[in-house]
């Protein structure tokens, strides 16, 4: 018998297909409210949970999921994991660290350049029709 996992997060089709070879997958119903209480109802006989933050994995939830063995969050942090409660119940928690490092670095540099070159102010001049030869140079001098 395959282990049963609840997917509270949509994943790419190829990943879902790969998981379905090894696990029975249950997902939210189309009209079903994404509430903690509904999540607890789904977890009563699941050994795995795939989610993306939003729900605390705490003693209350773990009591409703006595067969749960692994929780995987598709996010960098694991702030929503009560690691002590999970450890007491033998539930492993996984997350996806470092996946945003490059994006955050790119954004930081983009913001530094935008501030240094006053991109927002120049954009505003253009949108207001105030772009004139030399007008940008005046922005940079002020």
**Same domain flag for 84 and 119:** no
108-138 confidence digits (pLDDT tens): 999 999 999 889 988 888 898 877 766 556 5
**Same domain flag for 111 and 46:** no
**Same domain flag for 89 and 24:** yes
Element holding 112 (H helix, E strand) = helix 101-116
Pairing of strands 24-27, 48-51: unpaired
**Same domain flag for 23 and 90:** yes
Instruction: Map tokens 């120049």 to a residue.
Output: 122
**Same domain flag for 84 and 118:** no
Owning domain of residue 129? 101-141
Structural domains counted in the chain: 2
**Same domain flag for 105 and 90:** no
72-87 confidence digits (pLDDT tens): 998 888 899 999 999 9
Cα–Cα distance, 9 to 29 (Å, whole number): 12
Task: Tell me whether residue 61 is exposed, middle or buried, using C-beta atoms within 10 angstroms of its C-beta: 0 to 12, 13 to 18, 19 or more.
Answer: buried
13-70 confidence digits (pLDDT tens): 999 999 999 999 999 988 889 999 999 999 999 999 999 878 999 999 999 999 999 9
We report the CATH number of the domain holding residue 70 as 3.40.50.720
Q: Is 94 helix (H, G, I), strand (E, B) or coil?
A: strand
pTM of the predicted structure, to 2 decimals: 0.74
């Amino acid at each position: 018998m395959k282990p049963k996992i609840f997917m509270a997060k949509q994943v790419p089709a190829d990943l879902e297909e790969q998981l379905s070879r090894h696990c029975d997958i249950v997902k939210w119903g189309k009209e079903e409210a994404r509430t903690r209480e509904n999540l607890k109802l789904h977890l009563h006989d699941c050994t795995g949970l795939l989610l993306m933050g939003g729900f605390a994995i705490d003693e209350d939830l773990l009591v409703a999921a006595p067969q749960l063995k692994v929780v995987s969050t598709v996010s960098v942090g694991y702030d929503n994991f009560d690691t002590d409660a999970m450890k007491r119940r033998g539930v492993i928690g996984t997350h996806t660290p470092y996946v945003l490092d490059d994006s955050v670095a790119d954004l930081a540099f983009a913001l530094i350049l935008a501030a240094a070159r006053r991109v927002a102010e120049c954009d505003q001049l253009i949108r207001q029709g105030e772009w004139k030869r030399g007008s940008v140079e005046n922005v940079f001098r002020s």
